[in-house]
Each structure stands twice: as C-alpha cells, then as structure tokens.
Amino acid sequence: MLTAPGGRKASFPAVQVYESLNASRSCAPPPASSSWRRSSRPVRTGSASNPCKGPSGSRHRNAIMRLASSLAPACLLALGIAGGLMASAPVAFAADAAPAAAEAGADEVVARVNGTDIKLSDVALADEEMGQALAQLPEEVRFQYLLGMLIDRRIVASEAKAKHVEDDPLVKRREAYYDEKALRDVYWVQLMRDKVSEKAVKAYYDEHIAKAEPETEVHARHILVGSKDEALKVIAEIKGGKKFEDVAKAMSKDSSSQEGGDLGWFKKGDMVPEFSAAVFKMKPGQISDPVETKFGWHVIQLVETRKAKKPTFAEAHDDVMRTLAREQGTKAMEEMRKKAKVEIVGADKPQIAPAPDSAK
C-alpha cells in the first residue's frame, strides 16, 4: 500500500480488487512470522517469539500519488468478487487505471523500450500481479522493481514477436485465459459501483457504528514463556514483590519484554481467542493465571480499560465500503452461480469454495 497525500493509504496506484477471491486461493503467502494478534499493525504482529506487536525521484513518485488518489473510490468497490469468501490483505487491481489516469492527467510515460511507451497505468497493472510480494518494500524501490520487470518483459516480448512466437498455441491459450480474467475484473468493478452507493455506506455507518454501543478497549502487559511451570514461576516472582515490568524484562521471550511486556491498547478482536477470553474477564491491576496459546504460556496484567472512541464517518468510510462490497459480492456471486450450469468433470464433488460468514 502506498501513502497518498494527507497520510491516507491508497492502493498502488489503482484499485483494490476481489479481496475475497484472492483469499480463497491464498494468492500470496503470509509472512513467515505468525501473530497471535489479529491486527496487521507492525507493533502488534510478529513471529512466534514476537507475537505482539519512479526510478528518477519525486516527479514520478508524485505522479503515482495523484494516480492513487484519483482511483481510490473505485478501489473499494472491487471487493468481494468471489462472493463472501474470507478477505485477505488487499490486492491492487488496475483494469481501470488507464482511463482513470487519463481523466486525472496522471498517466505519464515512465519509460520507452524500442520506441514503445510504458506508462504509470502499466505499472499499476504490474502491481496487481506483484503487489502482494512487494508490499513491504519502500515506495520508490517497489516502483523501480515493477518498472524494471516491465522493461525486461517488453524486451523479451519484442524478441518473441520478431520470432513469431505469438502464433504458438501456448501463447493463444494464455491470451484466452487472461482475456476472460480481464472481462471478469472490469465487470466486477462496474457491478459493485451499481450496488454500493454513498447513501448505502452512510446508512450502514449510522446503523452499525454511530448507534452501536462503543467497544471496550484494554491496556495490558504480558510475559510470554515456554511452559506452564515457567509461567507459575513468573507469577511467584510477581507475588513475591517484584514489579511485573521487571519480571517481563528478565523472563519474557517476547520482544515486548524490553517495554515491560506492554501491549498498549487493544480490542477483543485484536487478539487470538484464548488471550482475549482471559484478559477481558480481568479487573485492572489483576494478574492472570497461566494462559496457553499456540505461541506459549502467557501471564497477563490488566492495566486499565476504557470505551473505544467511535470513528467518524470519514474515518470509517473505507472499511464500511469494504464490508458492503463483500456482502454484495456474496449475493451477486451466489445469484450468478445459481443461474450457471456448472459441471465438475472427473471429481466426485464440486470443489467450489462456499460462502462463509461474511462478517468474518
């Protein structure tokens, strides 16, 4: 994700597409690390040992930012293409990049290969293909990598055309595959535009956020060790008069140990169930019994609780639009599947992903 002017996150540099479809096929593997927190914020994710928390400079970068901003409304409408499948991290989609960029005046030529132009919208399409794998790279490095890939691809493709490889049956088969994909991608964005309106977004916000009871947040510390016996020793040290923070620094194998095990503020859904179930039953100042998760054994101290501040409509807008797009995607895909005649050849049962709870 790139940061657009004003600090808003925007897809690079086009639209987030068919989030739930990509999740169903795990289009990009998760990082090697895994997190017992369910948040994607860097301070709240990590490994099992840390389960908490244009190639030529600014001109091209600024053009990318303008293109990202111009395409932001469409990006959120493209979610849910497979109908209710569970969502993963957003994937950039650039089928609308060229016309939208032209309207915004931002679709600049960024390179030429043998006299043929490579534009920002081409980089957007490359980001659809590679964005997940490059998501952690700095913006300019990411741009340079994508542009370099496009340049090399254009060079090889030119050579292939000179040798008439475009007539190869394998090329024709791939062209047919990607033609179908392009039709689906563009049509899905158009379909979601018709189904998810600003009025619907506002109505959802009013009903499910503005009128809803505010969530409870907790501020907690924890100490992570490898066994129940170690956790009991931790508790004994604290009951013996040692400060929780000092014991965390000495005994916790989590990287938060150097902050005294401090996890900051979080909501119930930010943590794995076992951890949340324990901490949200506690009272401020209380020390938990040993709590087991797949990452080890935790001793938790609840520091304080509070009611979370409700997001404004502007702050919640994009998340609400994602939710509505997934819900509408679920309905649309189910309707299309019902009308289609599908035969699974050579299999006992259709291996089609179901539409799970869209609230997940």
Percentage of residues of the chain with pLDDT beyond 70? 67
pLDDT of residue 132: 80
Residue 9 has pLDDT above 60, yes or no: no
pLDDT range class, residue 115, cuts 50, 70, 90: very high
Packing angle, helices 313-339 and 198-205, rounded to 10: 110
275-327 pLDDT, tens digit per residue, is 999 999 999 999 999 999 999 999 999 999 999 999 999 999 999 999 999 99
C-alpha separations of 108 from 9, 139, 301 in Å: 21, 17, 54
Contact 244, 221 (CB under 8 A): yes
Length of the chain in terms of residues written: 360
pLDDT of residue 216: 94
Q: Range of 17's domain?
A: 2-163
Would 327 be classed as within a structural domain?
A: no
Would 334 be classed as within a structural domain?
A: no
Asked whether residue 222 falls in the same domain as residue 123, the answer is no
The one-letter amino acid code at 301 reads Q
Residue 266 has pLDDT above 90, yes or no: yes
Question: Which of these three, 288, 307, 326, is where a domain ends?
Answer: 307
Would 323 be classed as within a structural domain?
A: no
Residue 259 has pLDDT above 60, yes or no: yes
CATH number, residue 245: 3.10.50.40
d(CA 35, CA 271): 9
DSSP state of 109: E
pLDDT of residue 354: 53
pLDDT range class, residue 18, cuts 50, 70, 90: very low
Asked whether residue 41 falls in the same domain as residue 110, the answer is yes
Tokens describing residue 97 = 């990049």
pLDDT of residue 83: 42
123-174 pLDDT, tens digit per residue, is 988 888 887 888 888 888 889 999 999 999 999 999 999 999 999 999 999 9
Q: Write down the mean pLDDT value for the chain.
A: 76
Nearest to 188 by CA among 360, 16, 12: 16
pLDDT of residue 148: 93
Q: Higher pLDDT residue, 237 or 18? A: 237
C-alpha separations of 175 from 63, 97, 131, 183 in Å: 30, 20, 22, 12
pTM given for the model:
0.53
Residue 87 has pLDDT above 50, yes or no: no
Asked whether residue 15 falls in the same domain as residue 156, the answer is yes
pLDDT of residue 107: 81
Per the structure, the count of domains in the chain is 2
Would 30 be classed as within a structural domain?
A: yes
Asked whether residue 147 falls in the same domain as residue 221, the answer is no
Asked whether residue 17 falls in the same domain as residue 91, the answer is yes
